[in-house]
Every structure is written in structure tokens, then in C-alpha cells.
Structure 1
Amino acid sequence: MRIIGRVLLGVFLLALLLGAVALWYVAHPNVPEYTPPQTLTLLPQWDQQARERYYYTPQGTQVKGLHYDWFTALRQPFSDERFAAPANLARYGFLIDPEQLKPQQPGAIDPNNPGNLPVGFSRHQDSANGPWYLDITCSACHTGELRYNGHAVRIDGGAAMHSIASTVPTLRGGAFGQAMGMSLLFTYALPWKFDAFAQDVLKTEHPSAADKQALRDGLKPVLKQVFGTAWNDWHRGLYPTEEGPGRADAFGRIANGVFGDHISADNYRVANAPVNYPQLWDIWKFDWVQWNGSAMQPMARNIGEALGVGATLGLLDSDGQPLLGDARYPASVRIDDLFRLEEDLHQLKPPTWPAELFGEIDLKRASQGRALFRENCQRCHGPHVKQPGDPDYLAPARVPEWRMSMIPTTVIGTDPTTADNIASHSYDLRPLKWQLDELQHMDVALYPEPKQALDLSKLSAAKGLAYITAFVEQRAYRDAGISPEQQQRMNGYGLKIGVRELAAYKARPLDGIWATPPFLHNGSVPNLFELLSPVDERESQFYVGSFDYDPTFAGYRTGKFPGGFLYRTSVTGNSNRGHEFRDGCRRDGVIGRALSPEERWALVEYLKVLGNPAYESRLSDVPTPPWTPGPTCG
């Protein structure tokens, strides 16, 4: 018996040691140290007022019910430093101004950003006297930054380089949600941390026991939600492909959140197709948006984005029964703010090459590149401007309207997982008690119009989210007293909530593309030069998470660095194949002839100034060879 006891004690101590090691790694994330740039340049993409609104206008999201002042008062797990300190959040890839590192003076606190938080962190109240909730705005994921020789260039509307979405704990660490959860746990569990937290939140050095208990009671459900989500996502294996910095499986996550969390656990689906955060300039002109061209109404797109980031949504009542009639579906989305943000995006211009920081453009090489672009790229990337009277002109009031070229995955050859998941995953929405005849009167247009009645037992994600969004939109407008005429304007040109499910990806116009690495929808190609190269000349694995920019190759530097995330193109959803220029048969992702290294350099040089009149007017005319389709080889 004594031997058995010693063995059990040894097993217990070993388990305790392993648990302590795991806790250390989970709570001590492997993320880069933040080194502030010497200068921060804001490009003339729009005026400062629009920029401020974009950064800090709330959209109605909640981070698991976390209050704004709770977030700003959290302590880091292994220090007394605040988790929300600008330098700490910058380690996770969130963007700050170096000026934010200086101590805040009481009279200099920004009312739009009282917590001195990074771009995209805001707050809102759901009622006049309710708490202020932490709100993550669209700018958190759609603002980029490039750094070179100690200087930084902000890219408004560009691609973020953080890992805000990831919820699954890993020993490597590095995800914002994982780190925040550990800060919540340590703050809640350790008396000295909770005392400091309570003093900050309650704004007194000696809070009463009753006030501290009420605060603890309020924090408990937030902690339960954070760790409940992490457990659910981990033990179900929902996100096997690590997203890493700059990516999220946005469509898969919102589908799991809406159909799995709210309706039935049977609706959870594996989401293994992370995508880059796409750039936002010019999107108001696009006839169809999203990587797979699946949506068209601006308001519905923005409501869906807000739901995906954490806006509350009620599908069932407190007894678990479906909400019916006018009771459907209350949500915390702020439609007035979403409309204001969408209107501001009409002002957003593509970024212009900052020659004073990145070096001057080689005009001779760029001129050659323009001719090569017209020969090899313009056929897909346009822009293809519709003409009034065109049969597919979706919104006559929108001028201009650009037709997006949708390239089948079998042609473009890039990783099909994203498009396949959206097109093939289906969900059982019968518990919501929808009636088919009422769906026919919703503000939803399915392309193509289905020939058979919808089967609510296996409805696609795109269709299901479209109808839920329509109900949310309808309820929000009604609650706000918005007239039908104003609703049409706020929706965006009177457009319906359009739905398409194509096994294809959008070839968007390329103004400002130089500022949006890494490339392809899944971020599998680190720079423009490699994107124009054969697949066997592309890196099969590289590090991401650094903001260091290489102006020659037009992409992030990819060498190993402390805290970097290793991107492996062999992982499901991460393939770097396709969009290939190579001699031979035009199939399996080969879309054009081989480009010599000099031709690739010329194209890269032109892509740095595409759409920039100040440079385009200085380029010389070079004859453009005709585009040739090349052999298909059966």
C-alpha cells in the first residue's frame, strides 16, 4: 500500500508540475516585444475627423460582456502592470501612437479614447444608465501599419496584424483572447490583484466589502463566458488551423456563434479556412463583396461583421423557445453608427506610396510594369466600370459601380477551403420556427433564385445568416423608428441582402495593393514579387507578426524573430498554390505566361503607384502586348 501511495503521489506531483508549466506558457504568451517607431506617418487617405470616427465609433459589440473600465483595470498574470497598457496591447499586434506611451495628463484625456487604448477599441452603452461595454470596432481589423528603418506608416482601411479572433488555448500562446482570459482569471482569483482591480474600477482606495463582492459577482459570468468559449472550441476541435496574426476564419466563426452557440450544438462545424482581413478602400463601388463575392448590401455586411465580433443576439427566449413575430431578433448592433461609418468609407482613398520613407519609384521600370499589367493583370483586376443601363447594374444610384471578376477556384488554383466551406456547410435552422412564406417576403435576394423550396433542415451558412441579418435589421429599424425611405438609404442604394455561393474568389482592383501584405485570400504569399513567381519559388513556410516592411519586394520581412508565428503552407487552408505565372498548360492555377525576374520587378514597381495620379502621369507609354490565353492542354 505504501508503494501505491508513493506512486499516486508521484503521479499527482507530476500532473501538478505539468499543469504549472502549461499555465506558465498559456499565461506568458510568446509574442514580440514592442519597440515604438521614431515617427508615425498618417497618409492623406481622408481627413482627421473621419479617421477619428473610424477608429473609435462603436458598432455595438461586446467582448463577452466585459465592461470598458474592467478591461482597462485588468492586471497581467505575472506582474502588477495593466493588461490594457498601450505597450502591452501593442505586443499582440494592435496599433498605437507612440505618444500614447507617455503618461496621460488629466486634462489631456481623449473623450473618444478615455482608456488610452489602441485603434479599434471603443465603448458603448446599451441604455442611458447602463454600463459602458468594451466595443471592438471594424477599424481594429481593418487598419494596417508598415515599419521601415524605425519609422511607421499607418494604412487606414488596410489589413491588421493581430490574432484577436483565436480562442483556443495553446502552449505557444500569442492570441489576444487567450492572454486576456488569463488576466481575467488571475485578477479574479488572486486577492491582491483583485484588490488593486477593485480600487481602480470603484475609484476608491478603500472599497467596501459589499461593493467588492458585487464587482466580483459581475466579473464571474464574463470569466465563465471566456473560458466556456475556449473549452467549447478546444474540445470540439473547431479551429484546427491556427489563424495566427492577421487572419481569422470570420465566416466559420460567425456561423458557429450564431448556429452553434444560439441554436444547437449539432450545428457546430470545423472552421479551418482563415483569411486575411481585406482592405476597405473602394468597396462601396463593388457590386459584390467578401472574398468569395457572397454579399452585396452594405448594412447587412456591417451587421454581420458586428455579430461576428461580439454584438449580442437573441434568437431564443429565456425558456429556450424561439422568438416569433415582432419579438425577433433583438441585437446590440448600432445601426446609426454603422451607417455613419459606411458613409465615411466613401471618403477613404487608397494609400499612396510614401517615397520619403520607402524610397523613390523607378519611373522607367514602373512604365514597363504598367504595360505588363495591362497585358497580364487588367483582364481580371480591372476595374471593370459598369455603364448605365447594363443589365447587371445592381444599384443605379451608385456611380461608379464596379463589376467584380469572380474567378472559379478550379481556374485560379488558390486554396479552395474558404469557398468550399461557405458553399458546402449546412445547418439545421428548424428550431427557429421560420415559415417559408414569410422568408419570401424578407428583404433577401438569392442568386440564382432557387428552383426548389428552401430546406430549413440543411440551410447553407450564407442563406441562414442572410435571413437572420434581415430579421435583425428589420427589428433594429423598427425599434429606432426609421422610416422605410430612410431604411433604403441606410441599407445602401436600396439594395436587398444579396446572397451568392460561388466556388470562386474575387479579383478586386489593385490600387494600394502594395500596402496590404501578405497576399492571396489566406495570406500565404508574403510579398508581391513571390505572388508573380512560380509556386516552386515561393516560401513554403515563413514568419508573420512583424510589421517590418520590405519596400523592394513589397511585403513583410519573413525571417525568424522572437515571438514570431511560423506560417506553414502545408496546413489545411494555408496553401500558397495558384495565381501562378508559368509557361505551359493554363490549368491547375496557372493563369499566365512565365514572367522573367525583370518583368516581375517591373510589375512590382508599377503596383506601388497603380491608381496614384501623381505618379501615373509621369510614366511613359510602353507598347502593351496583347493578352494571349495560352494552351489549355485538354
Structure 2
Amino acid sequence: MRMLRLPFRFISAFPAFGLAMTMGMSHVVADNVAGRLPAGVIAIDQGWSDQEKSWWYTASQGSRLLPLEWMLALETEGSTAEAPEKFMSPENIERLGYLPNPPSVDNPLGLPVGFVIDHDKTRSADLMCDTFPATCDALTMRKPWIGLNCSACHTNEIEFGGKRFRVEGAATLADFQELEESLLRALKLTLSDRATFDRFARAVLKSDLTVESRAELEVQVEEQIAWQQLLEDKNKADVRYGRGRLDAQGHILNKVALITRQPDQIDTIRADAPASYPFIWNTSQQGKIQWNGIANNILKINILGRETDVGALVRNTSEVVGVFAHIETDRGKAWRGYDSSVRLDTMIGLERLLARLKSPRWPEDILPAIDWEKAARGEQHFESFKCASCHEPLAWDDLASPAKEKMDPIGEQQTDIFLACNTFLHASKSGNQAGQKIFAFTGERIGEMEFTRNLLVNTVVGAVVGKLDELAGGAFTDVFPSGRAGDAGTESSGIDFLPGVSDEIKKDQARQCLTAEHELLAYKARPLNGIWATAPYLHNGSVPTLYDLLLPAKVRNVWEGTALPPEPAGPTRPEVFAVGSRQFDPARVGFVITQDAGDDHFVFRVRDELSGEPIPGNYNSGHDYGTDALSEEERMELVEYLKTL
């Protein structure tokens, strides 16, 4: 029987795979069934087969972070010749919070969940050659690359009583920001430390190692460092995201701004509004997608013989553009299509698979049993506070009914405004997109300076058309909100925006957004089925448990008058807690609260540790509809009911 032969560096980086290789590939196939979870991790029924899970974990959407051989050879910044550690080692991946995925037919290298291989051997892979000329000349673009797909950020595991179970579609507890930053530091170390570069070059080039090839590789690494430094500088913000959060819209808009190739971009809006990754079951049943409803999800058309939600396709295309896709908008027009690495067919397949994902039910064989009489009393509180007016019930296995989510204006919710506000205000020079129609085929013309969300619309339409020119341009006008936004508001007499904050720029941005009216200046309330498995809570992950969500917050977005607003009487939401532990608190419903930041934890803070000022982006206010009037017993009854959803 023919054995699969792989370089030793693959085997040493993934010990389980190395052991399997000593037994032959047939044993790997037989004993490592696609979709099998790591030892000790329990699967709960959400409607997917093992094979469907495996594809979800390994299918490429077109994300291209680094060439695969580079990634496997790259060492962590703390690595030494005496104690080398690969960046993709299980220890480093665990530190970053991503989940292991055992070797299988779909995942022979044992890459973590959502770390996927993208390989295009054709000339269509030669993208962004103005940015990566040496990389294109070496045909490295046509080699396998490693990137991320949606499962990396939308899969989680929970621990209780010595047991650990996986929840598909829930928010990761990984630290995406540290992944990017530590990767850039590792690349810089590879060039600055010649012994490290020597090990890297030997591992990548193998028998092709020569003086010339080594020098060419060094130039290619320099190109990647320069590009990733541009991204880091553009996204740089004072607020740390930490575990389980990412300013995805900020990253996407900044990526779009950079690919217009305008060197003197303005930086009025930073990626400083981190959001919790949304849970994604029932996504196809929602009319609005993303926390601020940036795209509609209501139009279905036939693509590649499949009925497809165009809104979902827009969301996924936006995601892969922001998370490492290669794309060119400077060499064409959107209506002719932009060249990109986006995998349209795969994204359609992933969305169809996601439409079959059921929400998780409280596993009474793992977690303490629900007190159903207590939950019945909690349901009465749910009704008396009219919670269903925003969160209409949806059964855990209902994959057909409309979700009937509601968009609440940010001024009414009083929660942190900056995810919606930054998207509303973000502007960039438009480069090659200037003069084009926003929706490629229709809509207003793009100006020399433009709202970046309109450049995103043009980019996404062009990327999709570039892969499938049968789409009518009019389809996208039904998906995106109207291209032009109303003017930011100005009326603010006697109102203190962000009381207690000294940053006048953030206060002015708050004024503009809280006094304006636009459909993007709102956050989505959706059915709460499976909510028990999605901590931390609120759109920005600022509240650790459901119990705490029923308490009032101290911070406020606005206050009339010069004095600071009074603090609520009685218990309030915690303003400091660690994120990263998977240990579950079944009473309060969320992860166990500590204030200790271990190696795998991040301390979330509502206020700056030194100045005591509230941190824009980290406000834990909002969703306060009088539940602070509940007694302790009534509060626990309502929490008990939420477990049943």
C-alpha cells in the first residue's frame, strides 16, 4: 500500500499526526474519522453529522494569511535554538485560544479548527502583485496558503464538572488580535535573528536551498511584514480586544481602505470597537445580519443551481475580504468583477450547511438539571417585562420560521455605541473606485472621499461578480442599506456625551451618532434560543453572565447637565472580569468570573485602570429595561427560564 510521505517538519509540528504517519495512511483514515472531536470532548446534538462538521472546520473561503510551508516552519518569538517552538505548535495555538482538530481525511496535518488550506495552482492565484512583487515572481501565490474560515471564530467549548463539550456556531474565546500581532512579531524575529532565519529557510526551501533562493525568500518575508504592518497600523487602537472579541467591521473597512492603494489615507476612525462574535445558528432566518444590520438577508436567488441568500453571501464575502483574502480593486471596475481569492461556491455551501444548524439545548446530562417550576415562574417575569417584544421565541429545532429580530436605535438601547458609530462615520479616499456606481451597476457615484462602507459595497459586489458575472447588479441594492447616509446630527444643547470621558474626539463622534438618524445606528435583538451558551453578553461582550445582565450599569452614554450621573443603588454589573476560562457557572449562566489574568486569560475593564475613565468601546450599559427592580429570587427565576430556550 502506498504511504503518504510528508516532510519531517510537518510531523514534528503535530505530534499526533507524526505518530499516525508511522502506522501508514490507511490507519489514519480508519481511526481518525472526519469530524471526530479531540479525546474527552463531548458532542451535543445540533443537527450536523461528523462529516458535515469536518467540512465546516476545513473548507477554504479564500483566506490567505501566509504560505503553508512558511506557517509550519515559523517559530514563536520566544523560540530558541535550544528550545525551538513552532508558531503552529499545539501549545501556542492553545495559548491563543483556538481549538484543536484531530488529524483526519479532511485534515491530514491536524490543523486547528478553522485553520484551512487554500491552494490555487493557476494564474488566477497571482493577486496583489503590486504589493507582493517578489512573492508573485517566485510563484509562491500558486502554492498552498493557510488562512481562516468562519469556524475558527464561531466554535466554542465549555467545561463543567470535569467534562468538556463543544458548541457549534457559538463565539470563540480565542484572541484574534494577539494571533495577528504575535504572528507579525514572529515574522520580524525570523529576519532579525539570523539563526532563526537559517532554520526557517532550511525548512521552507529544503533541497532548493541556494544563496539566491535564500535571498529571494528573505525579500518575500519582508513583503509580508510590510503588508501586515500596514494592517496593524491601520487597525491600531488603545482599547484591547482580548479573548472572544474582534472589531470585525473596523478590520474589514480598514482593509477596504488599504486596498484602494492610497498612501495618505486619513485615520479618523480606528478599529477600536471590539464586538463579541455573534452566535450564528438561525442566521439564514434573520432579515438583518451583523450586530448593526449592515446588510439585509431577505433576497434569495439561484446561484450555481442552488437557492442562495444573497445577504449571507455578502456577509461571508465581506468577512473573507477582511480576514486575509487577496483582492484587487485597482485594476478594474466592479461591474466587470474584481480579481480575488474568494471561493464563492464554498461560501454558498457553507451557508447552506449553516442553515441546518440547530441551537444548542441545555445538556442536562452534563450540566445541573433545570428546575422547571422555577423556570415557569421565570417565564412569567419574561412576559411581564415584555422581553418577547424584542426577542420573539424560536424553538431550538425550528430552521424555517422567520427570526423576526428587531433593530433598536443606539440612543434607545444606551449600550456602547461605537461599533455602529464607527461604521457610520468611517471615511476613506476611494482611489480607483472613485466615479464608479456604489452597487457597480446602479446607485450613486462614489466620490474622491467616500464613506468606507460604500467602498465595501463596491468591493463585495465586484468580488462576487468577478467569480460569477451572472448576478444582476440590482440584487445587491436589495441587500445593502441605501448607499448615502444622512448627515451626522448636530443638536446637542445641554447634553454631556460620554460623561466622565476626556477624549474630545470620541465625545464628538458620540454626539454625531447619537443625534443622527440612520438605519445603521442600531443594534439587533434576536430570538434567545441557545443564549445560555453564548457568554459574555451584549454586542461587545461586556457582561459576563445572564444574571449580571439583569443588573443596572454605572456608565452612561449621555447625561443632561454638568454633574456626572448618579450611580444606581444596589448591585450593579461587574466592571472588571477575566475572559478566557471555559469553566461554566450554571447558576448565573456564563463563565466563572475571576479578576485574575493567567496566561490564557484577558482582563476586561469598563474603566481605565489608571485614570478611572470609562473606555469607549467597553461600556457595559444598555439592555436595562427595569429588571433591576427584580428581587434576587425573581432574578434567579428569570435566569432559570433563559436556560430552557
Band of TM-score, shorter chain: 0.7 to 0.9
TM-score, normalised via structure 1 length = 0.74
Matched position secondary structure for 2:456:
helix
Residue 282 of structure 2 aligns with an amino acid whose one-letter code is D
In structure 2, what is the Cα distance between the partners aligned to 1:337 and 1:54? 10
**In structure 2, what is the equivalent of residue 394 of structure 1?**
none
> How far off its partner does 1:384 sit?
8.3
Residue number in structure 1 paired with 2:89: 85
Q: Residue 302 of structure 2 aligns with which residue?
A: none
Q: Who is 2:318 aligned against?
A: 304
1:405 aligns with 2:406: yes
- Aligned 8 A contact 2:330 2:431 in 1: no
* Cα deviation, residue 506, structure 1: 0.6
Structure 1 residues 473, 244: CA separation in 2 closer, same or farther (over 3 Å shift)? Answer: same
**Rounded Cα–Cα distance in structure 2 between residues aligned with 1:282 and 1:344:** 11
Note the 1:331-350 alignment, pairs <5 A.
331-350=340-359
User: 1:370-381 residue pairs with structure 2 within 5 A?
Assistant: 370-376=379-385, 377-381=387-391
* Unaligned runs of at least 5 residues, structure 2: 1-36, 124-141, 297-310, 483-517, 554-570, 607-613
**Equivalent residue, structure 2, for 1:568:** 605
Aligned to 2:172: 160
What is the CA–CA distance in structure 1 between the aligned matches of 2:42 and 2:394, rounded to whole Å? 32
Output the CA distance in 1 between the equivalents of 2:77 and 2:453: 40
Does the aligned pair in 1 maintain the 2:63–2:324 contact within 8 Å?
yes
2:75 match? 75
Q: Which of residues 128, 131, 138 is equivalent to 2:150?
A: 138
1:537 aligns to what SS in structure 2? coil
One-letter identity of the residue aligned with 2:328:
G
| Secondary structure, aligned partner of 1:330 | coil
Distance 1:501 1:427 in 2: 21
Which of residues 239, 242, 261 is equivalent to 1:241? 239
Q: Does 1:330 align with 2:331?
A: no
Amino acid of the residue matched to residue 475 of structure 1? G
CA distance in 1, matches of 2:433, 2:453: 16
CA contact (8 A) 1:250 1:275 kept: yes
- The 3 A distance-change label for structure 1 pair 324 and 534 is closer
Shift of 1:328: 4.3
Q: Residue in 1 aligned with 2:265?
A: 266
CA distance in 2: counterparts of 1:425 and 1:571, whole angstroms: 20
Distance in 2 (alpha carbons) for counterparts of 1:574 and 1:247: 11
**1:555-613 CA distance string (max 9 Å, x none):** 1122114233221112111111121243xxxxxxxxx5722211211121121121xxx
| Distance (whole Å) between structure 1 residues aligned to residue 440 and residue 338 of structure 2 | 18
How many residue pairs get aligned? The number is 505
Tell me, in whole angstroms, the C-alpha distance in 1 between the residues paired with 2:440 and 2:471.
18
Tell me, in whole angstroms, the C-alpha distance in 1 between the residues paired with 2:460 and 2:106: 29
Q: Which moved more, 1:246-255 or 1:260-269?
A: 260-269
Identity %: 31
Residue 375 of structure 1 aligns with an amino acid whose one-letter code is: S
- Cα shift at 1:152: 1.7
In structure 1, distance between residues paired with 2:519 and 2:108: 42
Q: Is the 8 A contact 1:55 1:137 kept in 2?
A: yes
Per-residue deviation at 1:304? 0.3
Partner amino acid for 2:91?
A: A
C-alpha distance in structure 2 between counterparts of 1:465 and 1:439, whole Å: 10
Residue of structure 2 in register with 1:579 after alignment? 623
Partners in 1 of 2:275 and 2:368 — Cα distance?
30
Instruction: State the distance in 1 between where 2:394 and 2:440 align.
Output: 32
1:364 offset after TM fit, Å?
A: 1.2
Report the residue type matching 2:148 in the other structure. I
**Contact map agreement 2:378 2:639 (CA 8 A) in 1:** yes
Check whether the contact 2:260–2:432 (CA below 8 A) recurs between aligned residues: no
Corresponding residue of 1:192: 195
Alignment of 1:120-519 (within 5 A): 120-128=114-122, 130-164=142-176, 166=177, 175-203=178-206, 207-230=209-232, 232-233=233-234, 238-264=236-262, 265-268=264-267, 269-296=269-296, 297-317=311-331, 323-324=332-333, 328-376=337-385, 377-383=387-393, 399-429=400-430, 431-436=432-437, 439=439, 441-442=441-442, 456-478=447-469, 483-484=470-471, 496-498=479-481, 501-519=519-537
Per-residue CA deviations over 1:237-264 (Å, capped at 9, x if unaligned) read: x422211111111111211111245343
Does the CA-based 8 Å contact 1:427-1:460 persist in structure 2?
yes
State the AA in 1 paired with 2:573: R
What per-residue deviation string (whole Å, max 9, x for no partner) do you get for residues 121-147 of structure 1? 001113348200111101111111212
Task: Identify the structure with bigger relative contact order (alpha carbons < 8 Å, sequence gap 6+).
Answer: 1
Q: TM-score if structure 2 supplies the norm length?
A: 0.73
Matched residues in 2 for 1:43 and 1:122: separation? 24
CA separation of 1:37/1:128 partners in 2, compared to 1, >3 Å: closer, same or farther? closer
What is the distance in 1 between the residues matched to 2:261 and 2:122? 30
Per-residue CA deviations over 1:165-198 (Å, capped at 9, x if unaligned) read: x2xxxxxxxx122222222223334343334333
SS at match of 1:134: strand
Aligned-partner Cα distance in 2 for 1:593–1:561: 29
Asked whether the 8 Å contact 2:394–2:528 carries over to 1, the reply is: no
Where does the alignment leave 5 or more consecutive residues of structure 1 unmatched?
1-35, 101-108, 167-174, 318-322, 386-397, 445-452, 583-591, 611-634
SS of equivalent to 2:468: helix
Contact 1:384–1:403 (CA under 8 A) maintained in structure 2: no
Cα RMSD, aligned residues only: 2.9
